[in-house]
Amino acid sequence: MTMTPFKQKIFVAYFDEMPQRIGREIVVDGVKIAVFRLLDDRVKAIGGVCPHTQGPLAEGIVSGEYVYCPLHDFKVSLLDGAVQEPDDGYVATYDTAIDDDKVYIYV
Ligand code: FES
């Protein structure tokens, strides 16, 4: 039997202080995580380091459900972390929650 590891609930920011389409980077146990509020107010969290050459994804341009890496334009899905063709790779994804106007991620 495998146990599901306990996940920490980490406070990111107040929802109203997160502009739409502007990424926010947080670091949890040395791991960079990029958190985004989409135009439809969903909040998504992915690994903050681009798999190409470590670009800061939180500084990328958000379009729809994707972020474009600011260094060389890799297109990364904010839903599943997959780098889109013609490039490839992936970053982690994290569950998010909005409770009482506060944004959290689970790590
Ligand atoms: S570091 Fe992200 S595309 Fe190159």
pLDDT of residue 45 exceeding 90: yes
Which residues, in sequence order, are CB contacts of 64 under 8 Å at separation 6+?
38, 39
- Ligand 1, residue 70: give the atom nearest the CA: 2
With CA atoms as reference, report the closest residue to 103 among 25, 9, 5. 9
Mutate to test the pocket of ligand 1, among 50, 57, 59 (most ligand atoms within 8 A of CB): 50
Please tell me the pTM assigned to this model.
0.93
For residue 25, tell me if it sits in a domain: yes
Residue 44's pLDDT is what? 98
Domain that holds residue 58: 9-106
For residue 3, tell me if it sits in a domain: no
For residue 96, tell me if it sits in a domain: yes
For residue 2, tell me if it sits in a domain: no
Residue 38's pLDDT is what? 97
For residue 81, tell me if it sits in a domain: yes
Residue with CA at minimum distance from ligand 1 atom 3: 72
For residue 97, tell me if it sits in a domain: yes
CATH of the domain at 73: 2.102.10.10
Query: In this predicted model, what pLDDT tens digit does every residue of 48-78 receive, in sequence order?
Result: 999 999 999 999 999 999 999 999 999 999 9
Element (H, E) at 75: strand 75-77
For residue 1, tell me if it sits in a domain: no
What is the total count of domains within the chain?
1
With CA atoms as reference, report the closest residue to 58 among 18, 106, 107. 18
Query: In this predicted model, what pLDDT tens digit does every residue of 78-106 receive, in sequence order?
Result: 999 999 999 999 999 999 999 999 999 99
Residues in contact with ligand 1 (CB, 6 Å cut-off): 50, 52-53, 55, 69, 71-74
Residue 6's pLDDT is what? 83
Average pLDDT over residues 10-16: 97
